[in-house]
Chain A
Amino acid sequence: MLIDYLPILIIFLAGAGFAIFNVGISYFLGPSNPDPEKLEIYESGVKPDHDARLKFSVKFYIIAMIFIIFDIEVVFMYPWAMIFKDYLTITNSNFILFEMLVFMAILLVGYYYAWKKGALEWD
């Protein structure tokens, strides 16, 4: 029931309120003596020479894409795992296991392909 989720709203409001309060409080309580050097971006003592938001390695994108594919397949397993025990006891057949083994096999083929393509290499 939706009313069960009311405590989550309460704990969200309490947590967010605590975080916002703490982020704001040192603005009012702390001293404020800004100077140009202090407000500079930290770079181990040398002057920062350009914007930090540069292009970064394509490997991060590949990892993100593989993650999304595999994560969706993991999400498919949750409903299967939910009914697994009930299915075994009620219908007394092992069909649900073999169905999942087929799914796993397809997943593993994709995993093998990604591995052999070098998508999982990091060097």
Chain B
Amino acid sequence: MDIATQNLIFSVLKVALVIKVLLLGVTMVILAERRFSAFMQDRLGPNRTFYGGLGQSFADGIKLILKEDVIPTHVDKLTYMIAPIVMMTPALMTGAVIPFGPTIPIAGISLPFIGENLTPLVLQVADINVGLLYFVAIASIGVYGIVMGGWAQNNKYSLLGALRASAQMVSYELPMGLALVTVVLMSGSLSMNEIVAHQQETFWYVLNFPAFMIFLITIFAETNRLPFDLAECEQELVAGYHTEYSSMKFGMFLLAEYGNIITSSALVVTLFFGGWDIPFVDESALGLFGVILSMSVFGLKTSIFIFIFIWVRWSLPRFRYDQLMNVSWKGILPLSILTVVGTAVIMVLLKNFYH
């Protein structure tokens, strides 16, 4: 079998794996969120369906699918239909550039159905050299879904929610871009694999703590989570930009939100916590066991960040809208410019020190 066909087969398998992990992960994160929030509020949460609540999200999904698909009379039908799709597709697509394990050296080994392998297997759906830019570009498509959905519904709550969400997301995209510039400065590459490899050789970029904090804050804002969930604050806007959506169209917005949380956590881990790297352990010496261990460690690190997302949501109160804008434009933006300059200056100083 030639190399192109092999790559195609492996690509399809990896895409299937990533989408399956994301969708299953979403159901688990929703359940985890409900259980953790319940514990924080001294209740029990959903604990009956199928072994202590494990089936709760699946039951909810089936319920949503079987609900009536109400399309109100005054909506703009085409935009109304497209918005959940525009929201959901990028949420799955961003998973494409996250490396979730080390390269498996299977070149030359014979596999069933595929024959002799010609290339090593990279555990990343698309090993492109502009992975970081790809992530930023695809992640910001989600704002179109929010604006289209909010505008199409012809509902005052939805329109206000969409306006707030779009202004908030563009405001926090600038500091996020600058925090990523810091990462690129340190790694000298836009490829996720090379960023992970560089962190393996030197140090985890979390040592550049200001950049990490800025990035963490901005992805909270980008995923519309508390304390930045002005777009759907129940007390003011009913359900925000998805007020008029019902059945599985609403489900798409929900899945997209949690899918974004998972990919954002994975991105934080990849950029600042060494991805699948295990500190002080040489994974390549362990063979296939090392690969499995690295993937598990990557999953563990991602889970920790998903937990932080949930923890923050149920601990902090919401910003007021002018505070939100002030924090972004007058606080985090100057700080992130300072971080970029500081990182560059420190790199120059270190270079002069070593040479």
- Taking Cβ atoms with an 8 Å cutoff, the residues of A that contact B are 3-8, 10-12, 14-16, 18-20, 22-23, 25-27, 29-34, 38-44, 48, 51-53, 56, 60, 63-64, 66-67, 70-71, 74-75, 77-78, 81-86, 88-89, 92, 94, 97, 100-101, 104, 107-108, 111, 115, 120, 122-123
Contacts and interface: CB of A to CB of B under 8 A. Distances in A.
A15 B93 contact: yes
Contact of B248 (A16, A22, A48, A67): A22
B348 A60 contact: no
A16 B337 contact: no
Interface of B: 4, 7-8, 11-12, 14-16, 18-19, 23, 64-74, 81, 84-85, 88-93, 95-96, 125-129, 133-134, 151, 153-159, 163, 166-167, 170-171, 173-174, 177-178, 181-182, 184-186, 188-190, 238, 243-244, 247-249, 251-252, 321-322, 325-326, 329-330, 333-334, 337, 340-341, 344-345, 347-348, 351, 355
Nearest to B159: A52
B184 A82 contact: yes
Contacts, number: 215
A74 B171 CA distance: 13
B351 A15 contact: no
Contact of B181 (A10, A60, A81, A111): A81
A60 B190 contact: no
A72 to B, nearest CB: 11
Contacts of A12: 89, 93
B155 A7 contact: no
Given A19-B89, A25-B248, A30-B67, A40 B73 contact: yes
7 contacts: A7-B15, A8-B125, A14-B19, A23-B252, A26-B249, A82-B189, A85-B347
A35 B345 CA distance: 66
A7 B93 contact: no
A108 B93 CA distance: 35
Nearest to A28: B69
B252 A74 contact: no
- 10 nearest interchain CB pairs? A15-B92, A26-B247, A19-B88, A85-B188, A81-B184, A7-B11, A122-B322, A7-B126, A74-B177, A19-B85
Contact of A32 (B64, B69, B322): B69
A92 to B, nearest CB: 7
A14 B244 contact: no
Contacts of B171: 63, 67
A88 B351 contact: yes
Contacts of B321: 122
A39 B72 contact: yes
